[in-house]
């Protein structure tokens, strides 16, 4: 399976034309046609000590769009720490590339260079004469062999950014591959095939371990998310538990109140049954079918006609029951006022107004049982 790495920047230094055979212009500039890059397999050493071989196919190096991209680009003294743009070109530019490009020996790319910076010209005259291209490309993994050289990945869509003048004898500048630093390896430093195979095997093992680490991290993240979700559910259940416990407490309080009311009502009914049985005879079957209020009304009506109890509610019935219950006379009276009328007909001699008032007050209160 191939995976793409988009817009990766490359800095390559190869031992091509030096700047020995240059000419100076009337202005003191240096002008020279130079081979600045080539096709083929490039070997890079990564920071972890492993190697990667990257193919620059002829079809990509000599692609018309790729070749056009180098025209007019600026020349820098050493590679800048950033890619050249209109915002920083003035800071880094020491020369420029002309408006023509050609393929040499079906392998090299040659362009005309013009160096305009005085200090850079002095350095060139003192021996600083190697060239290195800075560019971006799309790289993907693909193993193969090109002109008897094995490679691990392939560059495509090569687009140039600048050409740098670098020190002679330098093996290469930093190159970004798979987001890791790597150094272009010179011919003298290339390892033998056995070492290369060992390094590639170690790299594959390392890649496998890194893949496992990534998978473990992903699993760990999933577990953390699952645990977080379970904790949230547990918190929610705790809240529901509290609500249920509160509802249970309220239900228990209602049940206790209900039990208390039932006991009170039962006690009240027992007292009513006893009161009625003690006061007058009534069929037991009828008594069993009566409510407490109906028994109270039955008792009230057995004692007096002074209370109107039609459509009366429980509270009014209870008030009337307590009032009538306080009467200690056993016989039924048609009117409470009848006591007063009967008393007036008695032939009692009144000696004084004080005795009369005392007697009258006593008779008025007799119905209360006092």
Taken in order 224, 226, 231, 232, the sign of the CA dihedral is positive
Q: Angle formed by the axes of helices 193-279 and 292-303, to 10°?
A: 20
Task: Assess contact for 280 and 302: CB atoms under 8 A.
Answer: yes
The DSSP letter of residue 8 is E
- pLDDT of 326 reads 81
- Each domain of the chain, given as residue ranges in start order, spans 4-190, 278-368
Residues 33-44: what's their mean pLDDT? 87
Which of 240, 220, 244 lies closest to 232 in space, CA to CA? 240
pTM: 0.48
Exposed / middle / buried, residue 90 (Cβ in 10 Å: 0-12, 13-18, 19+)? exposed
Evaluate if residue 168 carries a pLDDT over 60.
Answer: no
What pLDDT is recorded for position 22? 77
- 274-293: pLDDT as tens digits: 888 888 877 888 888 888 88
Q: What pLDDT band is residue 13 in, cutting at 50, 70 and 90?
A: low
What are the C-alpha distances in Å from 230 to residues 11, 67, 222, 223, 235? 51, 60, 12, 10, 9
pLDDT score recorded for residue 353: 46
Residue 115 binned pLDDT confidence (cut-offs 50, 70, 90): very high
E strand intervals along the chain: 4-13, 23-24, 30-38, 40-46, 51-56, 74-77, 93-97, 102-104, 108-115, 130-146, 149-166, 174-177, 180-184
Residue range 177-195: average pLDDT? 51
As a whole number of angstroms, the distance between CA 350 and CA 352 comes to 6
Ramachandran region, residue 50 (left: φ > 0; alpha: ψ -120 to 50; beta: rest): beta
Neighbours of 83 (CB within 10 A): 13
**What pLDDT, on the 0 to 100 scale, is given for residue 121?**
92
The stretch 298-325 carries a mean pLDDT of: 81
Top-confidence residue, 44 or 32:
32
pLDDT of 30 > 70? The answer is yes
pLDDT value of residue 7: 55
pLDDT of residue 160: 94
Using CB atoms within 10 Å of the CB of residue 161, give its burial: 0 to 12 exposed, 13 to 18 middle, 19+ buried.
buried
Stretch 164-188: mean pLDDT:
49
Is 321:330 a contact under the CB 8 Å cutoff? no
Write out pLDDT tens, residues 121-139.
999 888 888 888 889 988 8
The number of beta carbons lying within 10 Å of the beta carbon of residue 250 is 10
Q: What is the pLDDT of residue 183?
A: 52
Predicted pLDDT at 221:
79
- The DSSP call for residue 304 is B
The candidate with the shortest Cα–Cα distance to 171, out of 5, 354, 11, is 11
Of 70 and 321, the one with more pLDDT: 70
For residue 348, pLDDT over 60 is answered with no
The yes-or-no verdict on residue 78 having pLDDT over 70 is yes
Which helix (H) or strand (E) segment is 311 a member of? none
Mean pLDDT of the chain: 77
Tell me the average pLDDT across 55-60: 94
Query: Does the pLDDT value for residue 329 go beyond 60?
Result: no
Q: Please list the helix, strand and coil fractions of the chain in percent, rounded to the nearest 5, in that order.
A: 45, 25, 30
Closest CA to 175 of 45, 307, 69, 306: 45
Top mean-pLDDT range of 187-191, 194-198, 264-268, 277-281: 264-268
């Amino acid at each position: 399976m191939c995976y793409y790495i988009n817009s990766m920047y490359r800095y390559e230094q190869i031992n091509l034309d030096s700047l020995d055979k240059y000419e100076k212009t009337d202005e003191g500039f240096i002008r020279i046609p130079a081979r600045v890059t080539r096709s083929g397999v490039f070997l890079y050493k990564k920071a972890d000590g492993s190697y990667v071989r990257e193919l620059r196919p002829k079809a990509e190096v000599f692609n018309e769009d790729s070749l056009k991209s180098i025209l007019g680009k600026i020349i820098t003294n050493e590679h800048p720490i950033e890619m050249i743009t209109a915002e920083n070109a003035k800071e880094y530019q020491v020369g420029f590339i002309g408006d023509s490009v050609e393929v040499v020996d079906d392998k090299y790319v040659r362009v005309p260079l013009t160096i305009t910076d005085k200090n850079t010209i002095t350095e060139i005259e003192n021996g600083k004469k190697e060239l290195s291209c800075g560019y971006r490309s799309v790289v993907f993994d693909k193993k193969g062999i090109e002109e008897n050289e094995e490679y691990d990945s392939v560059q495509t869509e090569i687009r140039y950014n600048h050409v740098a003048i670098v020190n002679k004898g330098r093996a290469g500048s930093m190159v970004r591959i798979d987001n890791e630093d790597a150094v272009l390896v010179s011919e003298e430093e290339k390892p033998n095939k056995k070492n290369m195979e060992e390094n590639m095997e170690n790299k594959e093992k390392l890649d496998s371990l890194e893949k496992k680490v990534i998978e473990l991290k992903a699993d760990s993240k999933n577990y953390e998310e699952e645990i977080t979700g379970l904790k949230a559910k547990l918190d929610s259940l705790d809240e529901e538990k509290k609500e249920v416990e509160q509802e249970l407490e309220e239900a228990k309080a209602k049940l206790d109140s209900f039990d208390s009311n039932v006991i009170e009502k039962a006690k009240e009914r027992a007292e009513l049954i006893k009161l009625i049985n003690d006061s007058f005879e009534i069929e037991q079957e009828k008594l069993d079918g009566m409510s407490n209020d109906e028994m109270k009304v039955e008792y009230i009506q057995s004692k007096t006609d002074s209370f109107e109890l039609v459509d009366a509610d429980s509270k009014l019935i209870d008030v009337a029951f307590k009032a009538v219950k306080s009467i200690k006379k056993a016989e039924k009276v048609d009117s409470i006022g009848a006591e007063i009328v009967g008393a007036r007909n008695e032939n009692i001699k009144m000696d004084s107004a004080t005795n009369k008032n005392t007697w009258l007050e006593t008779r008025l209160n007799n119905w209360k049982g006092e």
